[in-house]
Structure 1
Amino acid sequence: MIFILIGYMASGKSTIGRILAKKMDYEFIDLDDFIEKNEKMPVSDIFKTKGEIYFRKKESEYLKKLISEKRNIVLSLGGGAPCYNSNMQAILNTGEAVSVYLKASIATLVSRLKKEKVTRPLVSHIETDDGLAEFIAKHLFERGQFYNLAHEVVSTDGKTENQIVEELVTTLL
């Protein structure tokens, strides 16, 4: 089985994915880390030197490779991955894959992202909480149509990491 975690940046995909994989004795793969390893450069450098179109093409290639070749993995996607190149359809058409949208409220995402702005180039330039909330709301509006196609939607607000993992295990198994 392949468990694919999708959601907005800072929704907990990598953190929850690592805990879930360990609990299930599965391999954990972060798609962005996988891309960096295979492309031999950080995602930010890929964007700068080769552009977003190149990155999205590679992201799609590596995603499709992983879901066709790997089993017993928890795969965490970047926030935009489900929204490009028919990636969400590929996920939904993979018989042994279950996709989970880790859904966090705008307030929760603002709270997390304002602490991580230095490591998040997409939001590093946003100076106020209101500006950050507006940016996130716009993205969620655009991406929601893809995120909400996931097999399961799990709200993460007000829950500990372990509570979310327990809910996933109960829901998925």
Structure 2
Amino acid sequence: MKTVLLGYMSSGKSSVGKLLAKQMQYDFIDLDHYISENEGMPISEIFNLKGELYFRKKEKEYLEKILRSSTTTNLVLSLGGGTPCYYNNMRLILEQTGINSVYLKVNIETLLQRLWKEKEHRPLIAHYKDKEGLEEFIRKHLFERQFYYLKAQHVIDVSKLSFNQIVENIQLKINN
């Protein structure tokens, strides 16, 4: 069984994924970290040196490799925020057998608070100087991406939940 976590930047995919994998005694892969390790540089550097198009192509290649690998059958995979939105990545996830996809949905206010604190580490938003501009970007960006996110088999509003509560909710959804 593979569980794929998707959602917007800072929705908790990596933190929740690690905890979920530990509780289920599954392997855990953070797709962004996997890409970074295989490319030998941080995601921000890939964006700066090689561009977003190169990154998205590599992202698709690595996603396919992980999903089709028989050695990682019991796996929790945390995607990057944009992964489901490019190429046919979301269709690839949905068409695979033995995969549960879970969208960790977060409200705008919570996303703004989280992203404002960590924007320097996020290539898409590092240049924002005020919260109003960042909020407008998040609203537009999330609106565009939600089309893909909402295709997930399970949607959980995690805005006001602890990581442990999110893990419990995921386990309830995927075990029913």
Whether TM exceeds 0.5 here: the answer is yes
- Whichever residue aligns with residue 8 of structure 1, its letter is Y
- Whichever residue aligns with residue 32 of structure 2, its letter is D
The CA distance in 2 between the partners of 1:139 and 1:59, in whole Å, is 19
Contact 2:85/2:145, CA 8 A, preserved across alignment = yes
Q: CA RMSD in A?
A: 0.9
TM-score by length of 2: 0.95
Per the TM alignment, residue 128 of structure 1 is displaced from its structure 2 partner at its CA by 2.1
Aligned to 1:106: 108
The CA distance in 1 between the partners of 2:121 and 2:52, in whole Å, is 18
- Whichever residue aligns with residue 134 of structure 2, its letter is L
Contact 2:102/2:154, CA 8 A, preserved across alignment = yes
Given candidates 114, 119, 124, the residue that maps to 2:126 is 124
- Whichever residue aligns with residue 151 of structure 2, its letter is L
- Whichever residue aligns with residue 25 of structure 1, its letter is Q
1:25 equivalent to 2:11? Answer no
Per the TM alignment, residue 36 of structure 1 is displaced from its structure 2 partner at its CA by 1.0
SS at match of 1:116: helix
- Percent same amino acid among aligned pairs? 53
Aligned to 1:168: 170
1:12 equivalent to 2:12? Answer yes
Within a 5 Å distance, the mapping from 1:29-108 to structure 2 comes to 29-69=29-69, 70-108=72-110
TM-score by length of 1: 0.97
User: Deviations for 1:21-66, whole angstroms, at most 9, x for unmatched residues?
Assistant: 0000011100011111111111112112221111111100100110
SS at match of 1:101: strand
User: Deviations for 1:102-136, whole angstroms, at most 9, x for unmatched residues?
Assistant: 00000010011111122122212212222211110
SS at match of 1:150: coil
Name structure 1 gaps, 5 residues minimum.
none
SS at match of 1:44: helix
The CA distance in 2 between the partners of 1:45 and 1:133, in whole Å, is 25
Given candidates 154, 157, 162, the residue that maps to 1:155 is 157
Per the TM alignment, residue 91 of structure 1 is displaced from its structure 2 partner at its CA by 0.2
The CA distance in 2 between the partners of 1:167 and 1:45, in whole Å, is 35
Name structure 2 gaps, 5 residues minimum.
none
The CA distance in 2 between the partners of 1:54 and 1:113, in whole Å, is 24
Per the TM alignment, residue 15 of structure 1 is displaced from its structure 2 partner at its CA by 0.6
The CA distance in 1 between the partners of 2:23 and 2:116, in whole Å, is 30
SS at match of 1:64: helix
SS at match of 2:103: strand
